[in-house]
Structure formats: C-alpha cells, structure tokens
Structure 1
Amino acid sequence: MPSFTTSDLEKLHHIYRINLINSCSGFKSANLIGTKSKDGKTNVAVFSSITHLGSNPAMLGFFLRPTTVSRHTYTNIKETGAYTVNHVFEDIIEDAHHTSAKYHESISEFDVTNLETEFHDECHAPFVKGSPVQLQMRFVEDYEIKANNTILVVGKIKALHIKEGLLDTDGYIDLTKANVASINGLDGYTIPKFKTRLGYQQPKSEFKKRDEQ
C-alpha cells in the first residue's frame, strides 16, 4: 500500500502532488458556475468544490484558489451578487472541462465551446442550457482561509430548476437519471450509477443508554 508522510508530500514533483491531493478526498461534484459582468460579458467555469452548507436557509459554498491571478467568476460575483450553479452531465463533459482554460476576460467561454446560455426570470447571470439541475444563487459572504489564501464563497439559493423526471415525491433528486458527472481529482470524470437509498438511522436498541429507553 503506497503511503506518504507530510515530508514525503513536500518532496514530490508538484504535478504529482497536485494530482495526488486533489484525488485523495474522493469523488467531487462537477458544476459549471455561470456569471455575467456588470457590463454584460458572460462567463462560465467548471468547479469541483461546491458543497452543501444548510437547507434552511438553503445555502451552498464553494472554494476559490488564491486571487493572485485574475478570477473572473469571483470578480463578477462580487460586483453583481448573482451567479448560477449548473450540473455537468455526460454530453457536455469535454466542453465543461475546457472552461478551465484561462481566457482573457473579454472572451466568454460560451463563445469558445458548444455550451449555450439560458436565462430564467430576472436572474442577471446565465444558466447553462440543458443542465438537468440549475440553481440561481445570490452572494451572501466570503471568508479568507488564511492557511493557504483560498476563499470560501457563501451563497443563498434563490431558485432551483430541475429537469422533468428527476424529482421523487419526497424531494430527492435522482441525478443518475440525468447522467450527471462527478470529478475524481482534477481531470477524471465519471458517471455514477445508482446503488440504493438508506433510511434515517436510529441507534440499535441494545446500545441505547438506559435513560433514553
């Protein structure tokens, strides 16, 4: 079994270390964040760091690498407060991944890929057309992670659009029916298969404390 200590990690080639650490935490969500600048230029970028923060209020967070270089997504969110989260699915994996390329802010990733914009209601930011789950987000706050200068961006879900046939009667969204992708590491994409759902768990009766019985 390969093993690595902190000292071992520090001595690794940086590409090897990046691949190792980005994949060791397990499968991650594959999402496209759509934004639009205050002067109307659209932007879309792939992220694998979006995480659930709470259901009431409904909030999500995602992490940004240090802003030592231009981060168009972050700039647009800070200036307008609006962004969208769109699930990557099998048919758009290559185009979604290409949005990680560093284009000048004057060039929209929608223009250099086959991804298309879609707009709902009064949302300033674009959605990704065809994405089976689309979330309209409103910026709430951000936090600097001082240990490595990354940024946690916190947003509130303003609207949720779900493709027909994915939503169960209890509110569960079956993403496998839409071939939604997951990311392993930085560039490994997979399409998960449904295994099972397990109900809310209670402690086994023989292990309950007497005052709980």
Structure 2
Amino acid sequence: MKLNTKDIDKLEHKFRLNLINSISGIKPANLIGTRSKNGMDNLAIFSSVVHLGSNPAQLGFIVRPFAENPRDTYSNILETQHYTINGVPLELTKKAHYTSAKLDQGVSEFEVMNIEKEFMDDFYAPFVKSSPIKIGMKHLDSIPLPNGCTMVIGSVELLMVPEGSMNDLGQLDLSHINSAGISGLNSYYSLNKLTTYPYVRTSEIPEFE
C-alpha cells in the first residue's frame, strides 16, 4: 500500500488514527503519576516519553490539546511542578491501559484500576509500586506544538531501577525487567534484546557486504 497526503486525508477517521499512531513503531509504555494541591492522585498511560538530554538529565512527553477538556495530569503538573514517570511491567498492561479512560475530575485511577502506589524520599507525586523503572520529575517548561499538543519538559530528580538490571556502562536491559512497549493506541508488546553494538567511531566502521 502506498499513500500520499491526499490519500491519508481521505481515510476514515478511526482508521487514519490507528494507522498514523502505529507507523512510528513500538514506543515505551509509561504511567505518569501526579498529585493535585488538595491531595488527589492521578495516573495516566503515555507512549510519548522521550529522552532530551543527559547533562542535565531531561525527559519530555506530549499532552494532547486540553483547552476544552482539562486533563488532570497536566493541570496537576502545572500546579505542583512535580510528577513521576513509571515504566509499565508486562503484568500491569491491562490496568495501565484503562487509565486512559476519561474519568470524572477528582476520581483517582489508582483506586479505580486498583494500582498500588508508593511515595519515596518525600517526593510529592506518587509512584507506581510495581513499576520496574521509577522516575521523579520536576517540570521545567511546556512548549506548544503546531498541532495544538504540548511538549512537557522535565528534569530527572529521582531515579529507581532494579538491582542487576544495569551493566557496567549504565545501560539498562529492558527485556530483563519485563518492560512493555506500545504500538498505536492499544497494542502492547514485550521487549526482547537482540544485541548491543559499540559506540560508532568513524575509524571503526566495518566493511559491510
């Protein structure tokens, strides 16, 4: 199948939505945890978390347009400036997926989906207890995007990974800790490590056949 811009624009809405959300491949599955100023906890699934820099350590993620439909996650981040990013383990994918439901404001996904939370080192926002990778974030900036979405940029303030999941170079083995990935809006994948290649230096490029 070959599609140009006009072809894509003519596709049925849900078909186009699923297709375009799938073509970028498998993305990390993460639950973002927040707490409002009045102590209401919120949890939502995201597949848009990306690495922005290592020094300083920064991550970003995308929130959809919210002018007409305020979203607890982003509202809480703006209120408190803190949030958590929690990798989704394979056994939690079903509960994690259902956090995408549009619950009434003030209703906690932790309670509705029966997901256990925990707090660490006096960090304000809640973590997902069963998550293999827990990241405490501080909001730095929000950048409007041309499509009405917003990129939320934060600094890594706290990090927790399982013992034995990291090699001497600081690389995490995501298959070892059973992290899940997402393709499109609702397809979940397990991750299997294929191999590790060295850092590429021009002088060390092999001769390929």
Q: TM-score range by the shorter chain?
A: over 0.9
Moved more, 110-119 or 90-99: 110-119
What is the CA-CA distance between 1:114 and the residue it aligns to? 2.5
Mark the structure with the bigger radius of gyration. Answer: 1
1:162 corresponds to which residue?
A: 161
Output the CA distance in 1 between the equivalents of 2:64 and 2:10: 22
2:76 corresponds to which residue?
A: 76
What is the CA-CA distance between 1:170 and the residue it aligns to? 1.3
The root-mean-square deviation of aligned C-alpha atoms, in Å, is 1.3
Note the residue ranges of structure 2 that are not aligned, 5 or more in a row.
none
What is the CA-CA distance between 1:105 and the residue it aligns to? 1.6
Which structure 1 residue ranges, 4+ long, deviate > 6 Å from structure 2?
none
Change in Cα spacing, 1:140 to 1:13, as seen in structure 2 (3 Å) is same
2:61 corresponds to which residue?
A: 62
Partner-residue secondary structure (3-state), 2:202: coil
Give the TM-score, by structure 1 length: 0.94
1:19 corresponds to which residue?
A: 18
Preserved contact between residue 89 and residue 130 of structure 2 (Cα < 8 Å): no
Partner-residue secondary structure (3-state), 2:175: helix
Output the CA distance in 2 between the equivalents of 1:69 and 1:118: 28
Preserved contact between residue 136 and residue 157 of structure 2 (Cα < 8 Å): yes
1:151 corresponds to which residue?
A: 150
Output the CA distance in 1 between the equivalents of 2:191 and 2:203: 31
1:210 corresponds to which residue?
A: none
After superposition, the C-alpha distances for 1:60-95 in whole angstroms (9 at most, x for unaligned) are 000111013121100000000010000001110000
2:129 corresponds to which residue?
A: 129
Output the CA distance in 2 between the equivalents of 1:160 and 1:43: 20
Output the CA distance in 2 between the equivalents of 1:18 and 1:12: 9
What is the CA-CA distance between 1:204 and the residue it aligns to? 4.5
Amino acid at match of 2:176: K
Alignment identity in percent?
A: 44
After superposition, the C-alpha distances for 1:16-68 in whole angstroms (9 at most, x for unaligned) are 00000000011111000000000000000000000000000000000111013
Partner-residue secondary structure (3-state), 2:37: coil
Which residues in structure 2 correspond to 1:26-65 (within 5 Å)? 26-65=25-64
1:114 corresponds to which residue?
A: 114
1:181 corresponds to which residue?
A: 180
Q: How many residues align?
A: 205
Query: Is residue 6 from structure 1 mapped to residue 9 from structure 2 by the alignment?
Result: no
